[in-house]
Amino acid sequence: MSYIKEKDQLDKGCIFEAGAGKKHEKESLLLYRDNLVVAFLNRYPYTNGHMLLAPSRHIADIDDMLPGENRALFALIRDSVAILRKHKMPDGFNIGLNLGTVAGAGQPDHLHFHIVPRWEGDHNFMTVLSEVRTIPEHIEATFDQLLPDFQALNSK
């Protein structure tokens, strides 16, 4: 409920620029930042461990990515999946990119990928009938669990 009540305050500015200048920040759910890419937990997750990964540079379209950003982003996707497998043990993942508002991009001016861990039987009637999500673990607990592995990535 705290996320719903604070939503208006949280929607100011680009979410991928939160925690600017920091490699990790719990308040903004920033797990990883370097000069090319960023990784955040999604503040409004579909499942536990739902992440958002983006280039650090504010770009809207995949055609605007530089080769180094492209490599770094896909390496971070790979590393994030490995970290989520280690801690959350999902049965699979949805990994996707929505380009443009009409395609469902909630932040259309900053290209980003979603990584959504999935478990066998994780659908329920709540999402279908009332757009309510049931998340069994508090997002700050998920952040605390994943952070040490992302900190290790910064030290590579």
Q: Per-residue pLDDT tens for 49-67? A: 999 999 999 998 999 999 9
Average the pLDDT over 101-112 and give the result.
83
* Residue 13 confidence (pLDDT): 72
Active site residue 112: yes
| Among 50, 110, 112, 114, the one annotated catalytic | 112
Domain housing 23: 2-154
CA distance 35 to 51: 19
* Neighbour-count burial of 21, counting CB atoms closer than 10 A to its CB (0-12 exposed, 13-18 middle, 19+ buried): exposed
In total, how many domains does the chain have?
1
* Residue 12 confidence (pLDDT): 63
User: What is the average pLDDT score of the chain?
Assistant: 85
The 10s digit of each residue's pLDDT in 67-105 is 999 999 999 999 999 999 999 999 999 999 988 888 877
The one-letter amino acid at 123: H
Average the pLDDT over 108-115 and give the result.
90
Q: Which of 78, 2, 6, 13 has its CA nearest to residue 39?
A: 78
CATH of the domain at 49: 3.30.428.10
> Could you tell me what percentage of the chain is helix, strand and coil, using 3-state DSSP and rounding each to the nearest 5?
40, 15, 45
Q: Percentage of the chain with pLDDT > 90?
A: 59
Average the pLDDT over 125-151 and give the result.
78
- Confidence label for 134 from pLDDT (cuts 50, 70 and 90): low
